[in-house]
């Protein structure tokens, strides 16, 4: 689907690439800084965009931990 100039400008303003997101994979676990509990995952899309996926509500006090790859 073709993007308009306005859509491309908005994507740049939001620090998003204009390429369509087709596939994404979790690259980091998002952990609560206070409790260490898992609160979400950080996904990287095929176009390079990063997006958090929260298990419940978004949190500000978090830390990121790389995903361990399967052997």
Tens-place pLDDT, residues 35-62: 999 999 999 999 999 999 999 999 999 9
Supply the pTM of this predicted model: 0.69
The torsion angle over the Cα atoms of residues 26, 28, 30 and 31, rounded to 10 degrees, is 130
List pLDDT tens digits, range 25-37. 999 999 999 999 9
Please classify residue 58 by burial: count the beta carbons closer than 10 Å to its beta carbon, then call 0-12 exposed, 13-18 middle and 19+ buried.
exposed
* Residue 19: predicted pLDDT: 84
């Amino acid at each position: 689907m073709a993007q308009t100039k306005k859509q491309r400008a908005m994507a740049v303003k939001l620090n998003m690439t204009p390429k369509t997101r087709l596939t994404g994979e979790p690259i980091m676990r998002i952990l609560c800084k206070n409790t260490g509990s898992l609160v979400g995952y950080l996904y990287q899309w095929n176009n390079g965009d990063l997006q958090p996926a929260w298990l419940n509500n978004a949190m500000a006090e978090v830390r990121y931990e790389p995903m361990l790859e399967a052997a």
